[in-house]
């Protein structure tokens, strides 16, 4: 990569830089370091849009009071292996990390465990919590609701969230981690196609006249992004919002301000299942390797079929060796926060 | 409906007819009745392809030994609120119903419960088990793997299952139940568009040359159906297969014979979460009603936006009053089985 708008920063330097800024912003030492690592991990793994490049937006959310740097999640109620927590409007990545950690503990204790979290903030890269579960040796499923940003199938106004869901399966040779929103493309992705002067590879939304289109500029104008699978992703987004809000006792999408700078009080669900409670890790790995081998043997017209997360490991290795790409303007902004 | 290929049969007569056939086929009395009801319920709710019209295929699976009419599922191992069961190749709808029932019990006992089932047969209409959970007042999530019938994104040969997933949320004014496969259209749906001489409403697969198409005949020729959301549904289908096979210790899609008449040894997962362990039913209903009201207020260019399952209740009422539509040739076949 020789993108003139980017600089490559060694991973540890990146973590230390963010850590220093977060300490100044009022986070406790252990929490500043963990939050810094979660931002850096997203960029290290190639999810630049939700990693360091998003850090200035996080700093604004501290300044405008959306995020309380000191607030920690609290247990509200417990029933067996299901718990309800309140995020108290603390940093979304720290809240999510702690709740996935608690779900992992519940999963190890009971086979399956679930934490529902209300009143939290944007968790940045959701995939982090999938990798966290898989690194702990458990199957992880988690999702968040979001502000309204997706029209239901058949409608022209955004009333659903794109509600990303993450599913992670631990595997010795490389975890399998799916991280997907219910919209076919994020507005960030749509914008970058437009800036490159390219069409989307498949239809990603509607024109203002209501026709499906691959033209990113048309979708930005209509604000009508497309749910995955048309009516199917629309239904799935609704279900995820319902379950997150009723289990957590928190807000549903329609009660979340439709403004990225004011989006808050999100509801999330974290589920962990311990496969080792049901079978030997060696047999489980063998079963997973066999599924992956079968997938890799797919007939294609060039290029290999990859499992979700396969590319992440490759990118991670490259970025740990060559430095983590950070937008130059963002990197300068980080120096200003530090100064 | 005045379709000359269909007859409307009163629901109770349909159940009794199927019940008599299943008793003759060797099912125990209580199991014959439940299986009959599950077939009839699917048709009553408008899911004709997986209801009574599929019964002859089920009879063939009893005759060719794929399904053992006497076999019942057995608990293999238990760890807290996670259980592994073996379906012993019994009737798929009875196995699934019993395992969802067990998941509901575990959910009520522990807040969340999960049953993973190996060695089962086609569960027919998956939505039945979602309605079952919602009728019991719990959130239900279940899925099954299938034989390979869907090419992974980027591939031309079917290596994934279309792995239907069901998500159900209980609600006083009408449960919200999503029942969706990972393919944009089933081959049954694709065939009926072709028979009507219609194009699919959105792209549903590829031509043999690898171009996206809305032409049902082209997709039947290429056997390249499209995953929902392109790469996203492809990834999701893989995750569902992995989790079902490792939790249950059963077979993955690549080990299931790719022939609808020989499809067996499926792996399934049933999860139940009890929202009443976290909050009062009245408050939960209020939250859900508010989400539904907001959805119903969507701006459309004609027609209302519906939640998943909304149409089912309307169809159910109509079919309970006017009789359940059954294909006439199928109805004649039922008389022969009975005679």
Q: What is the CATH number of the domain that holds A111?
A: 3.30.1370.60
Average pLDDT over residues B287-292: 98
Structure tokens of B219? 């997709």
Q: Is A143 in the same domain as A55?
A: no
Q: Is B160 in the same domain as B232?
A: yes
Give the pairing of strands A82-86 and A112-120.
Answer: parallel
Total count of domains within chain B: 2
Residue A160 pairs in a beta bridge with A150
Chain A residues closer than 8 Å to B114 by CB = 111-112, 273
- Contact indicator for A166, A141 with CB cutoff of 8 Å: yes
Residue length of chain B:
339
Which tens digit of pLDDT belongs to each residue from A119-173?
A: 999 999 999 999 999 999 999 999 999 999 999 999 999 999 999 999 999 999 9
CA distance B7 to A328: 70
Which tens digit of pLDDT belongs to each residue from A70-97?
A: 999 999 999 999 999 999 999 999 999 9
Q: Is A77 in the same domain as A35?
A: no
Structure tokens of A155? 């409608």
Please give, rounded to a whole number of angstroms, the shortest distance from the CA of A301 to a CA of chain B: 8
Question: Contact A232/B230, CB-based, under 8 Å?
Answer: no
pLDDT value at residue B4: 86
For residue A53, the 8-state DSSP code is G
Which tens digit of pLDDT belongs to each residue from A290-332?
A: 999 999 999 998 888 999 999 999 999 999 999 999 999 999 9
Strand segments, DSSP code E, in chain A are 6-9, 74-79, 82-86, 112-120, 139-144, 165-169, 176-180, 205-206, 212-213, 266-273, 324-327
Structure tokens of B95? 């196995």
CATH of the domain at B31: 1.10.1530.10
pLDDT value at residue B2: 66
Examine residue B17 and state whether it is found in any structural domain, yes or no: yes
Phi, psi of B76 (to 5 degrees): -100, -45
Pinpoint the alpha helices (H) of A5-75: 11-24, 29-44, 55-63
**Whole-angstrom distance between the N-terminal and C-terminal Cα of chain A?**
29
Examine residue B208 and state whether it is found in any structural domain, yes or no: no
For residue B125, the 8-state DSSP code is -
Structure tokens of A126? 């959701």
Average pLDDT over residues B214-234: 96
Chain A residues closer than 8 Å to B291 by CB = 238, 241-242, 245, 252-254
Q: Is A299 in the same domain as A322?
A: no
pLDDT value at residue A38: 98
Q: Is B244 in the same domain as B267?
A: yes
CA distance A182 to A166: 11
CA distance B150 to A325: 36
Q: How many CB atoms lie within 10 A of CB A27?
A: 22
For the entire predicted model, the pTM comes to: 0.98
Question: Contact B277/A82, CB-based, under 8 Å?
Answer: yes
Q: Which residues of B242-256 are buried (b: 16+ CB within 10 A; e: fewer)?
A: bbbbbbbbbbbbbbb
Q: Write down the ipTM of this complex.
A: 0.97
The HSE-up count of residue B273 (CA atoms within 13 Å, CB side) is 28
Examine residue A325 and state whether it is found in any structural domain, yes or no: yes
The closest CB to that of B114, out of A111, A167, A229, belongs to A111
- Ordered DSSP codes for B141-169: EEEE--SS-BPPTT-SS--B----EEEEE
**Portion 42-61 of B in contact with A at CB < 8 A:** none
Question: With 60 as the cut, is the pLDDT of residue A1 above it?
Answer: no
CA distance A291 to B253: 8
Q: Is A56 in the same domain as A119?
A: no
**Portion 58-77 of A in contact with B at CB < 8 A:** 77
Examine residue B219 and state whether it is found in any structural domain, yes or no: no
Pinpoint the alpha helices (H) of chain B: 11-24, 29-44, 55-63, 92-110, 127-135, 187-195, 216-222, 231-248, 281-296, 310-322, 328-338
Chain B residue at shortest CA distance from A235 = B308
Please give, rounded to a whole number of angstroms, the shortest distance from the CA of B334 to a CA of chain A: 34
Exposure of A261 by Cβ count < 10 A (0-12 exposed, 13-18 middle, 19+ buried)? exposed
H/E segment holding residue B115: strand B112-120
The closest CB to that of B300, out of A155, A248, A287, belongs to A155
Q: Is A267 in the same domain as A130?
A: yes
Q: Is A166 in the same domain as A244?
A: yes
Confidence band (pLDDT; 50, 70, 90) for B287? very high
Q: Is A121 in the same domain as A97?
A: yes
Examine residue B215 and state whether it is found in any structural domain, yes or no: no
Which tens digit of pLDDT belongs to each residue from B302-323?
A: 888 999 999 999 999 999 999 9
Provide the residue range defining the domain that includes A1.
Answer: 1-63+310-339
Q: Is B240 in the same domain as B297?
A: yes
Q: Is A3 in the same domain as A127?
A: no
> Measured in whole angstroms, how far is the alpha carbon of residue A300 from the centre of its chain?
30
Single out the residue of A146, A155, A157 nearest to residue A259, CA to CA: A146
Examine residue B264 and state whether it is found in any structural domain, yes or no: yes
Confidence band (pLDDT; 50, 70, 90) for A2? low
pLDDT value at residue B44: 98
List of residues 6+ apart from B157 with CB closer than 8 A: A298, A299, B151
Interior CA angle at B286 toward B280 and B291, to 5°? 130
pLDDT value at residue A188: 85
**Residue listed under structure tokens 């043997």:** A297
Average pLDDT over residues B150-163: 96
Q: Is B55 in the same domain as B130?
A: no
Query: Does A196 contact B at CB distance below 8 Å?
Result: no
Examine residue A22 and state whether it is found in any structural domain, yes or no: yes
Please give, rounded to a whole number of angstroms, the shortest distance from the CA of A267 to a CA of chain B: 13
Examine residue B160 and state whether it is found in any structural domain, yes or no: yes
């Amino acid at each position: 990569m020789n993108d003139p708008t980017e600089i490559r920063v060694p991973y540890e330097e990146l973590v230390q830089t963010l850590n220093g800024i977060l300490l100044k912003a009022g986070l406790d030492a252990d929490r500043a370091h963990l939050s810094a690592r979660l931002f850096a991990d997203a960029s290290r793994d190639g999810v630049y849009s939700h990693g360091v490049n998003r850090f200035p937006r996080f700093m604004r959310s501290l300044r405008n009071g959306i995020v309380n740097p000191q607030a920690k999640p609290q247990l509200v109620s417990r029933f067996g292996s299901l718990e309800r927590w309140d995020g108290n409007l603390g940093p979304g990545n720290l809240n999510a990390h702690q709740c996935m950690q608690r779900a992992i503990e519940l999963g190890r204790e009971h086979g399956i465990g679930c934490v529902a979290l209300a009143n939290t903030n944007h968790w940045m890269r959701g995939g982090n919590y999938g990798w966290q579960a898989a690194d702990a040796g458990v199957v992880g499923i988690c999702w968040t609701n979001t502000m309204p940003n997706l029209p239901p199938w058949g409608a022209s106004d955004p009333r659903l969230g794109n509600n990303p869901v993450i599913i992670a399966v631990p595997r010795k040779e490389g975890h399998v981690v799916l991280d997907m929103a219910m919209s076919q493309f994020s507005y960030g992705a749509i914008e970058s196609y437009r800036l490159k002067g390219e069409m989307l590879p498949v239809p990603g939304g509607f024109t203002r006249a209501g026709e499906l289109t691959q033209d990113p500029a048309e979708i930005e104008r209509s604000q009508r992004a497309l749910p995955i699978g048309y009516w199917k992703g629309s239904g799935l987004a609704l279900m995820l919002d319902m379950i997150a809000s009723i289990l957590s006792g928190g807000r549903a999408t329609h009660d979340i301000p439709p403004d990225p700078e004011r989006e808050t009080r999100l509801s999330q669900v974290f589920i962990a299942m311990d496969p080792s409670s049901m079978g030997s890790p060696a047999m489980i790995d063998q079963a997973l390797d066999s599924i992956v081998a079968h997938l890799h043997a797919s007939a294609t017209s060039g290029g290999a079929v990859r499992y979700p997360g396969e590319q992440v490991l490759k990118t991670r290795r490259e970025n740990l060796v060559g430095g983590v790409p950070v937008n130059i303007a963002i990197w300068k902004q980080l120096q200003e926060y530090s100064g």
